[in-house]
Structure 1
């Protein structure tokens, strides 16, 4: 028997522990020369507090996926839900970290972090207290009054991360945030991000081109195909919650996950 549209079972509400729901999404763009399908039939469910990494060939729609969740882009087909609500436009309750820190050169580290509070109209005392908490959490103590040109690339990204977390977002979107850093700094930022995620419980979606980074950080890794992007496979990461960086690299679960992802991306590259 077909249920009426008003039936609770027919509406199939998102479960309370589901934070992000992407259902049969497609994204198409029209250029001067042709129509381009960036994403095709993408479905993904992310639980509250989960860390999900997204990897795939260049141009497969990884960043587009984040824009859909943030409401900066609308799907051509399907729907996106955040915290049980349809995403119909830009969401103010998320945090976003990009590859470039995009700090204001004339503002100190603390004032760059507090820019988020000014834009949101947060109570100043609450914002300052939260900024101090994040500065301590990210190892920026002693650099609060430094200007961007006085900070290393890793420190600038720490400031950007603090700014994104200032309003305690339930979801943090990260688009290749460590791609411009040197290898050692990137490893240190991976360790810091993993620790901060454990301490805050924020749901994180991370786009990265680094397979080891994805596996070290995430609970699951989304492997996308070449354009038009779709999800080839969801790889569960069989590693302990507490992860020592060096020891993790020698874990059998790490080798299995990275090997499977490389197999999938190798197939995607040859098919492209």
Structure 2
């Protein structure tokens, strides 16, 4: 387990060199806003480096600023102080080179699964043949073969989220942001998608930032888990997950290393934290 990070470091505690440049660098970020009654500090002194190809999960109490962090990386929200960089470039506005998966799939009801995925290509004006080939690869990768022409209402919740994931990965983004993507699913479907997500990440090696309220999900999927404090949110501790890259669900959850990391996260969050 690592010490709490208060500066921009990699998992090893070093500044990333040229071969280990951070895909995401969050440096001394704070977010403050004013309500009708008072000033609110949502985040304070948050620093985090995510090396290319790493899977990082962010957990913490409800309202601690987890989703706010993702919005800053996406360029949808500007920090009050501090900076956010993607692949060395300062984030100054909405980024079109990322993928974003939300809790709800947000599919267009009148478009088939394939055409919902291709909506990304239309918006980005990707070459048609390239987009169709990539769509076919993703459909096979995510187990959607046979459902390409199904409309959203003909798909289960898990399948709809697979379509949303394919749409986010279509343009091969260097960074994938996931904001509670499996939170609304039943436990079995969520477990299946956790297994699928681990396999997809091992295949693509896309840099992933996942926000989740589920401690088992965070530990199962991530290389490191960022544990946030109550609002104003800051990083309490960053914990290395020393598990094999390929993870079979039941066997992984039974490992003492898994129990150790999950136990430490629960200890940091406290018995009353709003997490699973």
Distance (whole Å) between structure 1 residues aligned to residue 107 and residue 204 of structure 2: 23
Partner of 1:140: 144
Larger Rg: 1
Partner of 2:8: none
Partner of 1:175: 179
Partner of 1:7: none
How many pairs does the alignment contain?
259
Q: Following TM superposition, by how much is the alpha carbon of 1:238 offset from its aligned partner in structure 2, in angstroms?
A: 1.3
**Is it true that 1:88 corresponds to 2:111 in the alignment?**
no
Partner of 1:67: 71
Given the two structures, how large is their TM-score scaled by the length of structure 1? 0.93
Q: Following TM superposition, by how much is the alpha carbon of 1:15 offset from its aligned partner in structure 2, in angstroms?
A: 4.2
Q: 1:201-225 CA distances to partner (integer Å, 9 max, x unpaired)?
A: 1000000000000000000000000
After superposition, the CA RMSD in angstroms is 1.4
Counterpart among 120, 144, 160 of residue 116 in structure 1: 120
Q: 1:165-217 CA distances to partner (integer Å, 9 max, x unpaired)?
A: 00000000000000000000000000000000000010000000000000000
Counterpart among 51, 55, 69 of residue 55 in structure 2: 51
- Show structure 2 runs of 5+ residues with no match: 1-14
**Is it true that 1:27 corresponds to 2:34 in the alignment?**
no
Highest RCO, 1 vs 2 (Cα 8 Å, sep ≥ 6) = 2
Question: Residue 25 of structure 1: SS of its match in structure 2?
Answer: strand
Q: Contact 2:228–2:236 (CA<8 Å) still a contact in 1?
A: yes
Q: 1:105-143 CA distances to partner (integer Å, 9 max, x unpaired)?
A: 000000000000000000011000000000000000000
Question: Residue 107 of structure 1: SS of its match in structure 2?
Answer: coil
Question: Residue 131 of structure 1: SS of its match in structure 2?
Answer: helix
Distance (whole Å) between structure 2 residues aligned to residue 24 and residue 133 of structure 1: 39
Partner of 1:3: none
Question: Residue 156 of structure 1: SS of its match in structure 2?
Answer: helix
Counterpart among 233, 246, 250 of residue 229 in structure 1: 233
Distance (whole Å) between structure 2 residues aligned to residue 241 and residue 121 of structure 1: 35
Q: Following TM superposition, by how much is the alpha carbon of 1:14 offset from its aligned partner in structure 2, in angstroms?
A: 7.2
- Show structure 1 runs of 5+ residues with no match: 1-11
